[in-house]
Amino acid sequence: MYSRVNYVIVGLFVLLFGAGLIAIAFWLAKVDMKEQLDPYKMYFKESVSGLAKDSSVKLKGVDVGRVERIRIDPDDVERVEVVVKIRHDVPIKADMVAHVEMIGVTGLLSVIIDGGTNSAPTLKPGPGYIPVIKTKESWFFKAKKGIGTLTEQLNVLLVKSRQLFTEKNIENIDKILENTKHVTQKAKDLENSAMDSLDEMKRTIRDLNRSIQVIGQHFSVATEDFHQMQNDFHLISKATIPALKKIEQSTRNFNRVTRKV
């Protein structure tokens, strides 16, 4: 009897629980039917691995829709076409830009929409027309691309380094360093010689100045002696000229006398 009662209780519980699940599902479906969603397209040139159907679409951090479809663009194989559905009451402006972003550490991606101003025109879907929201590269893709570029540059640098540091180039570098050492020593010796020459020139100039001073002093003395000699010669001339005249007169008289004899 107790087993029959238990079966009845369990059966009622299962029926009530199933009815509750059906009611909740119906309510959710009803709510979803009441909520009108508008389609928009986005095109990405980067990998969207981690983005899936029903992934969230956020505008300034607020959930506004979900991803409806993901496929390769049939008109351009370099792009991924993503169709999203956004609530009809959310205005999507022409200057808004979308990108994919990882949410948490799960590896799943969401579509993030940023930007937008009130003055920009509103994108409005119509019959047979799905507006396109502009996109930009995600920071993860930029970082990945930057790392790839850096890796390529490092590889080129390594190749150039290997080419530079060959045995022959190392020997040439050693020779250049050795020659530089010799040139530096020669320059130092030349500098020392130049300094010695300058010192010798300074001493020579000092000696020359002293010699010029001595010569100047002697020249002054000689000039004074020369003036004294001129004066003495003038006095001698004044004293001897009358005597010479007398001697000349006596000679003439002597000659006259001798001719008469």
User: Do 45 and 131 sit in the same domain of this protein?
Assistant: yes
Q: Of 84, 118, 137, which residue sits at a domain end?
A: 137
What is the model's pTM?
0.47
Do 5 and 62 lie in one domain? The reply is: no
pLDDT of residue 133: 95
Kindly state whether residue 13 falls inside one of the protein's structural domains.
yes
- In this structure, the answer to whether residues 75 and 46 fall within a common structural domain is yes
Please indicate, yes or no, if residue 65 is contained in any of the structural domains. yes
Total domains, the chain:
2
pLDDT digit of tens for each residue in the chain (261 aa)? Answer: 546 656 666 666 677 777 777 777 666 555 454 579 999 999 999 888 888 999 999 998 899 999 999 999 999 999 999 999 999 999 999 999 999 988 766 668 899 999 899 999 999 998 989 999 999 887 766 666 666 666 777 777 777 767 666 777 677 777 888 888 877 887 777 777 777 777 777 777 787 777 677 666 666 665 666 666 666 666 666 656 666 666 666 667 656 655 554
Does residue 244 lie in a domain region? Answer: no
Is residue 121 assigned to a domain?
yes
* 134-135 sheet: strands from edge to edge: 37-44, 80-87, 62-72, 56-59, 109-115, 96-102, 134-135
What pLDDT, on the 0 to 100 scale, is given for residue 197?
72
In this structure, the answer to whether residues 76 and 102 fall within a common structural domain is yes
Q: Are residues 19 and 42 in the same domain?
A: no
**Of 137, 162, 190, which marks where a domain is finished?**
137
Same domain (yes/no): 132, 52: yes
- Compute the distance between CA of residue 176 and CA of residue 179 in angstroms, rounded to an integer: 5
Same-domain check for residues 59 and 124: yes
Q: Is residue 114 part of a domain?
A: yes
Asked whether residue 20 falls in the same domain as residue 102, the answer is no
Which domain, by its residues, includes 56? Answer: 36-137
Q: Show which of 105, 137, 169 is a domain's final residue.
A: 137
Is 23 in the same domain as 58? no
Residue 19 forms part of a structural domain: yes
Distance spanning both ends of the chain, measured CA to CA: 218
Task: Tell whether 210 is covered by a domain.
Answer: no
Q: Are residues 25 and 50 in the same domain?
A: no
User: Are 27 and 48 in the same domain?
Assistant: no
Question: Are residues 4 and 42 both part of a single domain?
Answer: no
